Amino acid sequence: MADRDWNHDTAEQDAVRRADRAARAGWAAIAGVTGALGCALIAGAVLCALVVVGCLYVVVG
């Protein structure tokens, strides 16, 4: 009778699954934010380059 409930780790396995899912969601959010910041940085650099080219065009013209 005492060996009836020997496998009591189902709650722990469920907690590990939920923790893994939360970790994956967290890393996906970090990757998304990093990607968005990278795109914004590239767009800002292109905008600055266009401003510099425009200013050189005005000065030379």
Token pair for residue 18? 């939920």
Mean pLDDT, residues 33-38 taken together: 98
Mean pLDDT, residues 28-34 taken together: 98
Mean pLDDT, residues 34-46 taken together: 98
As a whole number of angstroms, the distance between CA 56 and CA 48 comes to 12
pTM above 0.75, yes or no: no
The pLDDT > 90 percentage for the chain reads: 75
- Chain Cα centroid distance, residue 53: 34
Express each pLDDT in 1-30 by its tens digit.
455 566 677 888 899 999 999 999 999 999
Residue recorded with tokens 């907690």:
15
As a whole number of angstroms, the distance between CA 49 and CA 61 comes to 18
